[in-house]
Amino acid sequence: MHISVIGSGYVGTTIAACFAELGHDVTAIDIDEEVVATLNDGRAPIDEPGLEDLLETHVGDRLEATTSYDAVPESDVTFLAIGTPSNEDGSIDLTALEAAAEATGEALADKSERHLVVIKSTVTPTSIENVLEPAVKRGADGNDNVEVGMNPEFLREGSAVSDFLSPDKLVYGTNSEWGTERLHAVFEPLLEDHDADVVETDPQTASMIKYANNAFLASKISLVNDLGNVCKEFGLDAYEVMEAIGLDDRISEQFLRSGVGWGGSCFPKDVNAIIAAAREAGYDPALLEATVEVNDQQPERLLELLAEHVDLEGARIAVLGLSFKPQTDDIRNSRAIPTIERLQDRGAEIVAYDPVAIEPMRERFPELEYADSAADALENADGTVVVTDWDEFATLDEEFDTMASPVVVDGRRIIQPRENMTYEGLTW
Ligand SMILES: NC(=O)C1=CN([C@@H]2O[C@H](COP(=O)(O)OP(=O)(O)OC[C@H]3O[C@@H](n4cnc5c(N)ncnc54)[C@H](O)[C@@H]3O)[C@@H](O)[C@H]2O)C=CC1
Ligand SMILES: O=C(O)[C@H]1O[C@H](OP(=O)(O)OP(=O)(O)OC[C@H]2O[C@@H](n3ccc(=O)[nH]c3=O)[C@H](O)[C@@H]2O)[C@H](O)[C@@H](O)[C@@H]1O
């Protein structure tokens, strides 16, 4: 098959490279000339394990990138993987996706065969019917051969390629049998080698499945954090408790790590977007609101623990870990951001370190001091907070001896406590 993929960000680049790996011919389309040039060079515009290898293999052969939509009508199916950020009130901002949907429609105005346009972006349940399908149709000047479907994506940053190539499930949201068959044809090569459940449904339900998935996972972590805070009050270890409850198949052992909370480009915006959509529809989702509230309070709890041991005004505090999770340089909604802001409010002098995310954080906080290593950050610090569970922090040991006062508040259960260290776990 020939597949066109509109948008070459985290999702678009990953799926374009993976579709080529599955044997399809792929045209990746992006408005950003630099992104297109990078891709055509066989390089990845984002940092993802395994992605560059796929691009090196397939660019110039089964995969090419361009800024032009000309390949859209020549392809058999088009995936839209454009960002859906938040408006100020938390609701979904469809501006960029709507523009891309309309441009895709325009490219298909004269197509005489049926063509499936698949929304890969995360969108609220009414977005397709009310905004995106009309945009495609408007662009296509009412061409009835163009149909819109939904195929939500569940990959995680840091393991995007392997997640995409070995999914638990595939969700096909279409309005016709033909649309479902089209999606089957796209994913058939994947399903030949990999056993995944396939859910066939309508586009609106497919959209809701994506939000329910993310809201459930974010709520699971917030519940674990809430219970973890209770454990801490009783002097108990939340990790021991969660390990035990994770033995129950109904709960499962995954996503039970308590600490400073969830960040990233998706959980925060998606939970807020579905809350805003529900409110607009007339329902206040109380539990989802609490999910956000618990998450928002964790950085503050981290600093309260630190303040029990260090007078923060004028103290030198090392912040270890800046990315929203390990294996990525992505700092979007990283818990390091509220942690740094609250340390600044309390008058602390901050020295920050991350193995890969210093440059993006320097853009956000140019005034901070950044260290070249965790060891440098710890030297002469009056205390440290750990925000990201990078493996290298687990091996820190004698480095803590160089601190002016060895107070460690661990937000991710990654540090090995040692003698002469004042160690506090956030939920243990
Ligand atoms: N990042 C992730 O791990 C996941 C993201 N998603 C969803 O996928 C969607 C895309 O997210 P990301 O890939 O992270 O976004 P991104 O912001 O990394 O990439 C979007 C790309 O679209 C391009 N673009 C914007 N307007 C365009 C247009 N009119 N024509 C062509 N290209 C255009 C931009 O230049 C950019 O390269 C979002 O809805 C997100 O919620 C879903 C699952 C995982
Ligand atoms: O829609 C999306 O974009 C994606 O959002 C998440 O993926 P991602 O944000 O890349 O990363 P996760 O591994 O889910 O971690 C999210 C946040 O939760 C935190 N987390 C995760 C697990 C846990 O047990 N505890 C915990 O605090 C992580 O530190 C991180 O800040 C989902 O896991 C993906 O399925 C989804 O496709």
Band of pLDDT at residue 327, cut at 50, 70 and 90: confident
Q: Which ligand is nearest to the CA of 4?
A: 1
Determine the pLDDT at residue 106.
98
Residue 264 Rama label (left phi>0; alpha psi -120 to 50; beta): left
Determine the pLDDT at residue 422.
98
- Give the residue carrying structure tokens 């990138």: 65
Q: Which ligand is nearest to the CA of 427?
A: 2
Ligand 2 atom with the smallest distance to the CA of 259 is 27
Determine the pLDDT at residue 39.
98
Query: What residue owns the CA closest to ligand 1's atom 5?
Result: 11
Share of the chain above pLDDT 70, in %: 100
**Residue 111 annotated as binding site:** no
**183-192 confidence digits (pLDDT tens):** 999 999 999 9
Assess contact for 344 and 408: CB atoms under 8 A.
Answer: no
Quote the CA–CA distance of 318 and 295 in Å, as a whole number: 22
Q: Which ligand is nearest to the CA of 259?
A: 2
Q: Is the pLDDT of residue 328 over 90?
A: no
Ligand 2 atom with the smallest distance to the CA of 221 is 25
Q: Is the pLDDT of residue 46 over 90?
A: no
What average pLDDT does the structure give for the chain?
97
Query: What residue owns the CA closest to ligand 2's atom 3?
Result: 266
Distance 96 CA to ligand 1 centre (A): 9
Question: Can you tell me the mean pLDDT for 240-253?
Answer: 98
> What is the pTM assigned to this prediction?
0.96
| Domains defined for the chain, CATH in brackets | 2-201 (3.40.50.720), 236-428 (3.40.50.720)
**Residue 30 annotated as binding site:** yes
Q: Which of 13, 30, 209 to mutate for ligand 1's pocket (most ligand atoms within 8 Å of CB)? A: 30
Assess contact for 84 and 97: CB atoms under 8 A.
Answer: yes
Distance 34 CA to ligand 2 centre (A): 28
Query: CA angle 335-338-344, nearest 5°?
Result: 135
Question: Can you tell me the mean pLDDT for 376-396?
Answer: 98
Ligand 2 atom with the smallest distance to the CA of 388 is 29
Q: Which of 151, 159, 221 to mutate for ligand 2's pocket (most ligand atoms within 8 Å of CB)? A: 221
List pocket residues of ligand 1, CB cut-off 6 Å.
Answer: 6-12, 29-32, 35, 81-84, 96, 99-100, 103, 121-122, 153, 155, 157, 265-266
Does the active-site annotation cover 18?
Answer: no
Question: Can you tell me the mean pLDDT for 138-161?
Answer: 96
Quote the CA–CA distance of 340 and 346 in Å, as a whole number: 10
Determine the pLDDT at residue 414.
98
Chain centroid, CA 174 distance in Å: 25
Q: Is the pLDDT of residue 354 over 90?
A: yes
Question: Can you tell me the mean pLDDT for 265-278?
Answer: 97
As a dihedral over the C-alpha atoms of residue 173, residue 177, residue 182, residue 184, rounded to 10 degrees, the angle is 70
**Residue 8 annotated as binding site:** no
Share of the chain above pLDDT 90, in %: 97
**83-130 confidence digits (pLDDT tens):** 999 999 999 999 999 999 999 999 999 999 999 999 999 999 999 999
List pocket residues of ligand 2, CB cut-off 6 Å.
Answer: 122, 153-157, 214, 217, 221, 255-257, 259, 261-264, 266-267, 324-325
Chain centroid, CA 239 distance in Å: 24
Determine the pLDDT at residue 329.
87
Q: Which of 18, 39, 208, 266 is the catalytic position?
A: 266
Greatest alpha-carbon span in the chain: 75
Ligand 2 atom with the smallest distance to the CA of 156 is 10
